[in-house]
Chains A and B, each alone.
Chain A
Amino acid sequence: MSFIRTAVRSALSRRSAFFRSVKHLSTDAAQPQQHAAGGGSNGAKFPGAQQASFVTAPKLALPATMEPLPIYRVMNSEGVIEDESQDPKLDQGTLRKMFRDMVLLNTMDKILYESQRQGRISFYMTNFGEEASHIGSAAALSIEDWVYGQYREAGVLVWRGFTISDFINQCYGNAEDQGKGRQMPVHYGSRKLNFVTISSPLGTQIPQAAGAAYAFKLQPNNQRCVITYFGEGAASEGDTHAAFNFAATLDCPVIFFCRNNGFAISTPSAEQYRGDGIAGRASGYGMAALRFDGTDVFATYNATKLAREYVLRENKPIVLEAMAYRIGHHSTSDDSTAYRPAEELEVWNTVEHPITKLKHYMIRRGWFNEDEENEFVKSVRKQVLSQINQSERIPKPNWREMFQDVYQEMPQHLKEQMREMEEHVTKHQEHYPLKDYKQ
């Protein structure tokens, strides 16, 4: 508890520093950097560090001397906007959608988590505590912007219009799943919504996002950027290093959105890195960065909006770091009480909860109607439960789909293997769950 107060206090005390840095970001960015040969004032000429100058005494660059990047926030835990100039002034309709999308995600998570516990789906991962970072960032993007995610970004899909049935059909891998039942639950994808299909290997999507952004940049009149989400754990992968460096050197309009929720499964962030989080790495790559309160939907929205304008205007990447707390277990295969205290969780589940904060704000504005919201939660519950029943009854895709899409066209050897399986299944059908599959 005291830890939170300290964090809040220190964030407040650094506010002025933060605004300086934002100003710095938006003005400095417009001017190309000087790369004069021997740019150091006293004549250093090494090609590898052209801006540096000589000194006559050794001075260790100690991490302790670096000021940690401040955490930008717009509203406090009571839903009070601390600096009116930072109010994004979203209209009631937009705010209502933001709130309801967060609630929908939260409600759907609770039920699907339970349904995994009952053995109805094989696996699930909740988004508890990170709803604001999904919805806030998604709202600040254009739907034309491509999204490369990790797996805990379902809210981005909610915002873009992925339906309850889309989510649940994927989790069941039934014939209505656009992914054709080939991947584990929560590995969503949508061509229509420009959300690139999730894969399990961590960090792999990050250099891919840089490549896609580069290709978009070369298209005439490009108005499209790429955002890639990843956790602070995935940021330790080599692919993250690759992506940061490629995006910086090749000038890619990509937003690196790190969800720093304090844990990678059981590993606390203190065992993940020693530097100033993930945003603190950006300057080492020559990238802009912004750290913010990821439980504050307004801070997330403003940060992402600023980042989007920056990357498209400058054709340069940016690192965003959304600070949050992973309230749920890592996945349904994890029991997080084995590695963290319940009291800590309680705080994040109540006063520091993203939905609670936005609710406080809406109450202040007089935009919140308790009965209406209870009714909404009830109707979402009903939709999710009825969709579960429905998705369960939809047959799985024809088993021959197993052989499709390995290549664009099925090569001869796969045709032969499919035929072999057909013959086998015909002969031994009693051993295979054929009735569960589309014929």
Chain B
Amino acid sequence: MNVLAKATTSLAAGSRRSAAATAALVRHSSHFVYQPDAKAPIDGPTQKMNMFQAINQAMDIALEQNDSALVFGEDVAFGGVFRCSMGLQKKYGKGRVFNTPLCEQGIAGFAIGVANTGAKAIAEMQFADYIFPAFDQIVNEAAKYRYRSGNLYDCGSLTFRAPCGAVGHGACYHSQSPEAYFAHTPGLKVVVPRGPNKAKGLLLACVNDNDPCIVFEPKTLYRAAVEEVPVAAFESPLGKADVLRAGTDITLIGWGTQIHVLQEVADMAKKQLDVSCEVIDLVSILPWDKETICNSVKKTGRALIAHEAPLTNGFGAELAATIQEECFLHLESPVLRVTGWDTPFPHVFEPFYIPDKHRCLAGIRKLIDY
């Protein structure tokens, strides 16, 4: 409750777009319990951090390591509406950490230009819901720059960060998970961290990667997710899924916040149904780790995919189709998707909208009994 209250306050402070989002602070009990990473990604001293602090540290490292690196977006100068860029302008100056005018297509276009010169651009979209004005720049320009120029020009040194996902009361425009729109765009890399370690490692990997990357950060984890994070710089590989717990009866696939729902569901399935679940964090939406997913499903014979975004054409559809094609002879039941409904993300109905642990557990029961 406390955790969610904090997250709520943060969203309220951050939201200046919609009075509706701040007017009624309806607080629901959290739909997930954060499960810290069991093992630090690298050896060495660690520090207890939440996700916004880990992201802040990653940007600090990126600015420190690359003289050309710039951090910009709406309201990043004072620290960002989610506190991710706290203290960075003070440390690196107004030239390198700065506010832009309120215009997402401008932020994206500007970032591409910065990256064309080889400088590193770390650009923030205040909410993933507001990335759509930049869709043309990201899809037609950033994603195709290297290809269309025959590798004469590229914008590989750019990274977009965008808070995404359900937060309890974000309604239509502070809750969206738009990863599937971008997964349909060759040339982009798209990742979603599940917590502080992953957020730090993925962000640094994206900054140093030579292709344009988008990091969708589940905003409900900014404060709620706390764990030990190595102080030193490290990168989490792009395009690699993480098997978070091994199991034999069914493969559960998710990313972002949903991973924590699925881990709790795995416990419930064990206890209530004596079903052994293998839980996989896909981490990387594009390119995605077909090998890890298909190896798991070939072993368990069943797959459940869960994501907050709507069902139709959600990224679960891509996974289900590929699993069907690659694991056909191993499947003992259809591949099931437990997702948000094909509606806009609602305000007061959020508890009925999200693919919570009860819907996921019911899904497991259905597949086991098939």
Q: Is the CB of B287 within 8 A of A215?
A: no
Contact B101 A179 (CB under 8 A): no
Contact of B116 with A245 in the complex, beta carbons under 8 Å: no
Docked complex Cα distance between A212 and B101 (Å): 17
Within residues 210 to 230 of chain B, which ones have a CB less than 8 A from any CB in chain A? 210-211
A216 to B119, CA, bound (A): 9
Chain A residues near B70 (CB-CB < 8 A): 214-215, 218
Residues of A within 8 A of B98 (CB): 250
Do the beta carbons of A245 and B106 come within 8 Å of each other? Answer: yes
Given A211-B116, A242-B103, CB of A204 within 8 Å of CB of B110: no
Query: 1/0 per position for A193-215, CB-CB distance to B under 8 A?
Result: 00011010100101111111111
Cβ of A178 under 8 Å from chain B? yes
Residues A246 and B150 in contact, CB atoms below 8 Å apart: no
Chain B 28-72 interface residues, beta-carbon cutoff 8 Å to A:
68, 70
Whether B264 sits at the interface, judged by CB under 8 Å, is: no
Interface residues of A in 126-151 (CB under 8 A from B): 146, 148
Q: What's the Cα separation between A368 and B155 when bound, in Å?
A: 46
Instruction: Tell me the chain B residues, 95-134 only, with Cβ under 8 Å from chain A.
Output: 95-96, 98, 100-101, 103, 105-106, 108-117, 119, 121, 133
Q: Which of B82-90, B135-143, B252-260, B296-304 contacts A (4 or more CB under 8 A)?
A: B135-143
Given the interface pairs A204-B136, A238-B133, the reply to whether A211 lies near B113 with Cβ below 8 Å is yes
B147 within 8 A of A: yes
Residue from B106, B136, B141, B239 whose CB has the most chain A CB atoms within 10 Å: B106
**Could you say which residues of chain A place their CB within 8 Å of the CB of B141?**
199, 201, 204, 208
CB pair B113–A215 under 8 Å, yes or no, is: yes
Enumerate chain B residues within 8 angstroms of A246, measured Cβ to Cβ: 100-101, 103, 106, 110
Q: Which one of A33-41, A111-119, A180-188 is at the interface?
A: A180-188
Whether the pair A183, B148 counts as a contact (CB closer than 8 A) is yes
Judge whether B152 and A178 touch: CB under 8 Å.
Answer: yes
Q: Write the nearest CB–CB distance from B110 to chain A, whole angstroms.
A: 4
Give the tally of cross-chain contacts (CB within 8 A).
153
B154 touches A (CB below 8 Å): yes
A338 touches B (CB below 8 Å): no
Question: Is there contact, CB below 8 Å, between B150 and A218?
Answer: no
Task: Name the CB-closest residue of A to B144.
Answer: A199
Chain B residue nearest in CB terms to A183: B148
A239 at interface, CB cutoff 8 A: yes
A411 touches B (CB below 8 Å): yes
> Which stretch (A91-99, A157-165, A400-408, A423-431) binds chain B?
A400-408
Are A215 and B117 neighbours in the complex by a CB distance under 8 Å? yes
Q: Measured between alpha carbons, how far is A404 from B106 in the docked complex, in Å?
A: 29
B114 and A214 contacting across the interface, CB-CB below 8 Å: yes
Knowing A201-B140, A246-B101 touch, does A189 contact B149 (C-beta < 8 A)?
yes
**In the complex, what residue of chain A is closest to B287 when comparing beta carbons?**
A411
Pairwise interchain contact A204-B109, C-beta atoms closer than 8 A: yes
Knowing A210-B113, A239-B109 touch, does A413 contact B153 (C-beta < 8 A)? Answer: no
Q: How far is the CA of A197 from the CA of B290 in the complex (A)?
A: 34
Judge if B156 is at the interface, Cβ distance under 8 Å. Answer: yes
On whether A242 and B114 interact (CB within 8 A), knowing A197-B153, A211-B121, the answer reads: no
Q: Nearest CB to that of A178 among chain B residues?
A: B150
Q: Which of B95, B105, B150, B290 contacts A239 (CB 8 A)?
A: B105
The one of A177, A187, A211, A405 that contacts B114, using a Cβ cutoff of 8 Å: A211
| Interface core residue of A190, A245, A250 (most chain B CB under 10 Å) | A250
Q: How far is the CA of A239 from the CA of B136 in the complex (A)?
A: 10
Q: Is A278 an interface residue (CB 8 A)?
A: no
Determine if B146 and A406 form an interchain contact, defined as CB atoms under 8 angstroms apart. Answer: yes
**Cα separation A238 to B153 with both chains bound (whole Å):** 24
**Is B344 located at the chain interface by the 8 A CB criterion?**
no
User: Which of A199, A210, A212, A408 touches B148 (beta carbons < 8 Å)?
Assistant: A199
Min CB gap A314→B, angstroms: 16
CB of A208 within 8 A of CB of B110, answer yes
> Chain A's nearest CB lies how many Å from the CB of B75?
14
Q: How far is the CA of A209 from the CA of B154 in the complex (A)?
A: 14
Contact (Cβ within 8 A) A189 B105: no
Q: Given A215-B113, A408-B211, A413-B287, is A204 in contact with B101 using a C-beta cutoff of 8 Å? A: no
Q: How far is the CA of A214 from the CA of B68 in the complex (A)?
A: 11
**Residues of A with C-beta under 8 A to B136:** 201, 204, 239
Chain A window 206-241, contacts with chain B (Cβ cutoff 8 Å), 1 for yes, 0 for no: 111111111110100000001000000000001101
Chain B residues with CB under 8 A of A9: none
Query: CB-nearest residue of chain A relative to B210?
Result: A408
In the complex, chain B residues whose CB is within 8 Å of the CB of A199: 140-141, 144, 148
Closest partner residue, chain B, to A200 (CB atom): B140
A412 at the interface (CB under 8 A from B): yes
**16 new A-B pairs (CB below 8 Å) besides A179-B149, A210-B109?**
A182-B148, A196-B116, A199-B141, A215-B113, A215-B114, A238-B133, A239-B105, A242-B109, A243-B106, A245-B103, A246-B103, A405-B147, A406-B147, A407-B189, A408-B210, A408-B211
A-B pairs with lowest CB-CB distance, top 9: A211-B113, A207-B109, A242-B106, A197-B149, A208-B113, A211-B110, A180-B150, A212-B113, A179-B150
Interface residues of A (CB under 8 A from B): 146, 148, 177-180, 182-183, 187, 189-191, 196-197, 199, 201, 204, 206-216, 218, 226, 238-239, 241-243, 245-246, 249-250, 404-408, 411-414
A-B contact pairs, 23 of them (CB 8 A): A146-B116, A177-B150, A178-B152, A182-B150, A183-B148, A191-B153, A197-B149, A204-B137, A207-B110, A207-B113, A208-B141, A211-B109, A211-B115, A213-B113, A215-B117, A218-B68, A218-B96, A226-B113, A239-B137, A243-B106, A246-B110, A405-B146, A411-B239
